[in-house]
Structure formats: C-alpha cells, structure tokens
Structure 1
Amino acid sequence: MTRTLEWKVGLFLSEEDGTTKARAVLDTGTTTLTGHGTAHCSPQDVDIPEIGDELAAGRAMHSLARQLMKSADRELDAMGAGPVGPSAPGPGTPYVTP
C-alpha cells in the first residue's frame, strides 16, 4: 500500500533581552504537538542573533521529536509490540517486530 502525507511544522521565534524563545508546532491533520526551546546570550558573549535562533529552534525541534517518539512508543506498547524486560530499547529506539 502506498501512502502520501504532508505534515506541517511552523517554527516561531522571538528574542528579548538576550533570550531567544522558539515554538515548533506540528500539525498532522489529526493531531497537533508543540515543542519549546530557549537560548540565552551570556553577557560576555558577542550578541549574534542567528546563533540564538538556531539554538532555540533546534531545542524546540528536539522537544517535538521526543514527543513524537513517546507517542509512537505508547502506540506500539498498546499493540503489544513494545519493549519487554530490562534489556528493552529506550524511548526513541526503533522497534523491529517479526
């Protein structure tokens, strides 16, 4: 079976007083997840806004990725395909089922 989906991600950035905040919003059409990230410019550092943008955005996207992996882990567990025992892979590790 072939499937094609489009999931949209919006990334919103704001900066105030040396702190950059990012919000990443994923819209799958049926679910919306939001990740957040921040970056702070140290007083002794040169203020380069692009670096704060990249750090905050990366952290927001990482937050979003963790949420997606947790959601997939929960759904796999509900189907009985989740980890079993102490040697089971941690969250975010791909599952291989026979």
Structure 2
Amino acid sequence: MKASVGDRVITVSGTVGTAAREGRVVELRHLDGSPPFVVEWADTGERSVVFPGPDTVLEHDDGARAAAAAAVEASADDGAQAVPHTTWRVQVDVFEHGGHTHAQALLVAPGEDLGAGLDELRSVGQARRAPEDPDLPLVGDELAVGRALRRLASRLLGDAEHGLAQATGEHARVHA
C-alpha cells in the first residue's frame, strides 16, 4: 500500500458497532509512499503515524499522486534513484438471485506477470441464504465478496511461495 499526501484513509474497526475512521495523509515517512505515513483524522483532528493493516482502505487523490510522481522524478534528477510504481486494481462484481449471491473478483496488474503469462487473476465466492434466515442482502454480499477476495489472496500468496521456491531451490512459506 503506497500513499501520497492528500490520499484518503479509511480504517474499519474489527469490533462490531465501532465506527470507521476517516482521515487524510498529511506526511510521508518514505519517498516511495510506503508505510508508515502520518494521517490527520477527521473526527478528532489528531495526527498519528499509521501502519495500515487489512482493515485499512486507501483512496488515492489523483492530483496528489501526480505531484508525488513529479517529486520522485525531481529527486531522481538530483542523483537519487527513482522509485518504480505499478498500480494493481481489483474489481468485484456481485450477482444476486433467489437467495444466492455470487461474487467475482478480478485482479488486474497491467504489465505484470501473475503466473502463466497472465496479467489478471479471477476468483469467485458464493453465499446462500437458508429459507429460515431473514432476508439480509448486504450480509450475503459481504460473505460472497469476502470469500472471493480470500480465494484471490490465497492464490497470490501461493504464487509468491512458488516463485520464492523456484528462485531459491528451497521450500518457501509465506506468512499471511
């Protein structure tokens, strides 16, 4: 997760009933935008150093991203090494029909080889409402999307393990 000054940060609590927090990145600790970064929280105005976890979403400010790229280029002109940047995108489509929810997650990594010469990976997740359960479409969506994303993550981690094992000639275990 790479940030630029001005990007929006949303942290969702793992505790039921606890509100999500929103803030803006106000300072980077690394030129390439890698964590940690300093966030000013909208609810309190306080600033804190953030090491984003799986409960954090980063929404990029396109204007800030362009300014950061220009700053990296300028620093390269001063003799510093430019930092490579690639954007991977995930799209999730959700389909509902008769108590069944189907989610398809698509990861697109333009120009990257995700294995077998592919630059995209797909995964699916499903949820089914039992007849006696209440009709809660959002819960079905969350289950199906969560399952699709978990499968996508497992595939990526498995591919990373395989790549490490091939490169080193030894068994590799990646911790999630």
TM-score range, shorter chain: 0.7 to 0.9
1:47 pairs, out of 119, 130, 135, with: 135
TM-score (norm 1): 0.81
Superposition deviation, residue 35 in structure 1: 1.0
Superposition deviation, residue 75 in structure 1: 0.6
Q: Which residue of 1 aligns with 2:92?
A: 11
Tell which structure's C-alpha radius of gyration is larger. Answer: 2
Deviations 1:72-93 (A, max 9, x none): 111101101642xxxx74xx42
Q: Where do 5+ consecutive residues of structure 1 fail to align?
A: none
CA distance in 1, matches of 2:133, 2:109: 39
**Bigger relative CO (Cα 8 Å, ≥ 6 apart):** 1
Query: Are 1:71 and 2:176 matched, yes or no?
Result: no
Deviations 1:8-53 (A, max 9, x none): 1110000011000000000011311001100000111101100000
Q: Which residue of 1 aligns with 2:121?
A: 33
CA distance in 2, matches of 1:82, 1:25: 31
Kept in 2: contact 1:9–1:27 (CA 8 A): yes
CA distance in 2, matches of 1:51, 1:34: 22
Q: Report sequence identity in percent.
A: 33
Which consecutive segments of 4 or more residues in structure 1 shift more than 4 A? none
Indicate the RMSD between aligned Cα atoms, in angstroms.
1.7
CA distance in 2, matches of 1:13, 1:81: 40
**Distance verdict in 2 for CA 1:76–1:12, change over 3 Å:** same
Kept in 2: contact 1:22–1:56 (CA 8 A): yes
Q: Where do 5+ consecutive residues of structure 2 fail to align?
A: 1-80, 113-118
Q: Which residue of 2 aligns with 1:93?
A: 175
Kept in 2: contact 1:73–1:82 (CA 8 A): no
**Partner SS, residue 42 of structure 1:** coil
One-letter identity of the residue aligned with 2:106: V
TM-score (norm 2): 0.47
**Partner SS, residue 79 of structure 1:** helix
